[in-house]
Amino acid sequence: MTTTDVETTGAAVAPAWVPRTVESAAGLDLVPPPLPPGEAQAWCNFVVFTPTALPVGWVLEPGTIRREAPPGRVDGVEAGRTPWSSNNPSAYRFEVTAGGRRLRVKEFLYDWAFPALDHPCLWNSPTRAVPVDDTTVVWFGTDYLGHRAASVRAARTTIEISVLDGEFTDDELLALVRSLQPVSAEAALALSATPFADLSYWARYDASMVDVPVGLWRFRRPDRPHEGAWTAEPAGVARLLSSLPLPAALGSLAPDSAAVFENQAGRSEIEVVYAGGPGRGCELRLIAQGAARGRLVVPSERESHPCTTGRLTLEDVEVQLAWIDARYGPFDAVWADPVAGLELKLLSTTGVGLSRAWFLSAVREAIVACRARGAG
């Protein structure tokens, strides 16, 4: 599995990516049409991956595209649309058959919230991670339909594999993941140079929010009109970082995008994406609130997903910590710092090298930086 590298400074190394879109929901396909992956890439706000080598007897079936359109619904048009909202983000789907066996692969940018656990389709399922290469891990578990499944996030693309018929071994699924390559190196490079806020469907359309888990400690944004104002413009990100104040960099990652979420009562929190690494796919997500307290509750309750939790003290601050795999993540930390006057939640993506030691170093760095910037 290959991804495209981008500097952790966030500096662009290629023109920004702008996906093709349908002008209105009324113009959407009645059903997602077949489209080769090379042609589908133009319609996607994520890197499209396709298998480069399959075992003898395995067949790659034609893929289908769910095109992007502004929010809206047309009566009677339901195929391929998200059932939980009127939003119309893009996705690419294909199947692989092997004799009487069949699996489905779905690819998309999970951008309506920080993707729970980096493998949201396996929510509430015991999961385990296996390295794919020197940066990426694949997670095995059971999906929300009860199918044996695997999930991997590469170059910010969420790739979900679900076994529909028959049985596939872990080794077979791992080999499939390792065979996935970007269909277009040029598109992958452009996507890696494009900040999250410029790719996100929810940020671009101010689309209605979806109540989903955000991490292992409970934090939700209920279904309602979008309350987030996102920016990837450096001066705008800097202003939001200074408003609480928040770290100018974190875990050797640069700020990529930021948003303020404010409801009608004036209660608000700030969310910051720190990103870098191959395909800009290594992420820390910081959610913070000051006097105008938003939705973050400290101390926080556990979500229902299987994980390990504990408490520890860093820089005289008690931190709630939750994780699944101490070697690869994901991690979720929540704390209140009376010195900085902030309540914070820090989440990590998963991957090789994104260990407990790395994450706790980032938590400590955040505590020190918030205090220093507040004092300044």
Residues 171 and 287 in one domain: no
Q: Is the peptide bond before 299 cis (omega within 30 degrees of 0)?
A: yes
- Last residue within a domain, chosen from 192, 222, 240: 192
Residues 184 and 202 in one domain: no
Residues 247 and 364 in one domain: yes
Name the nearest CA neighbour of 175 among 56, 4, 3: 56
Report the first-to-last Cα separation within the chain, whole angstroms: 45
Is 11 a member of any domain? no
Is 320 a member of any domain? yes
- Last residue within a domain, chosen from 153, 174, 192: 192
- Last residue within a domain, chosen from 159, 192, 225: 192
Residues 125 and 222 in one domain: no
Do the beta carbons of residue 50 and residue 105 sit within 8 Å? Answer: no
Is 2 a member of any domain? no
Residues 210 and 162 in one domain: no
Residues 43 and 155 in one domain: yes
Domain count, the chain: 2
Q: Which residue range(s) make up the domain with 318?
A: 196-375
CA distance 333 to 344: 8
Distances (CA, A) of 154 to 1, 3, 177: 9, 7, 10
Report H helices in the chain.
Answer: 37-40, 170-179, 185-192, 196-199, 201-205, 234-243, 356-375
Residues 125 and 209 in one domain: no
Residues 169 and 309 in one domain: no
Is 371 a member of any domain? yes
Three-class HEC string of 131-181: ECCCCCEEEEEECCCCCEEEEEEECCEEEEEEEEECCCCHHHHHHHHHHEE
Is 205 a member of any domain? yes
The tens place of each residue's pLDDT in the chain, 376 residues long, gives 877 654 444 444 467 999 999 999 999 998 999 999 999 999 999 999 999 989 999 999 999 999 999 999 877 666 666 666 789 999 999 999 999 999 999 999 999 999 889 999 999 999 999 999 999 999 999 999 999 999 999 999 999 999 999 999 999 999 999 999 999 999 999 999 999 999 999 999 989 988 999 999 999 998 888 889 999 999 999 999 999 999 999 999 999 999 999 988 889 999 999 999 999 999 999 999 998 899 999 999 999 999 999 999 999 999 999 999 999 999 999 999 999 999 999 999 999 999 999 999 999 999 999 999 988 6
Residues 118 and 206 in one domain: no
Do the beta carbons of residue 332 and residue 360 sit within 8 Å? Answer: no
Name the 3-class secondary structure at 175: helix
Is 103 a member of any domain? yes
Residues 285 and 298 in one domain: yes
Residues 160 and 117 in one domain: yes
User: Strand pairing partners for 165?
Assistant: 102
Do the beta carbons of residue 196 and residue 209 sit within 8 Å? Answer: no
Residues 71 and 141 in one domain: yes
Is 5 a member of any domain? no
Is 1 a member of any domain? no
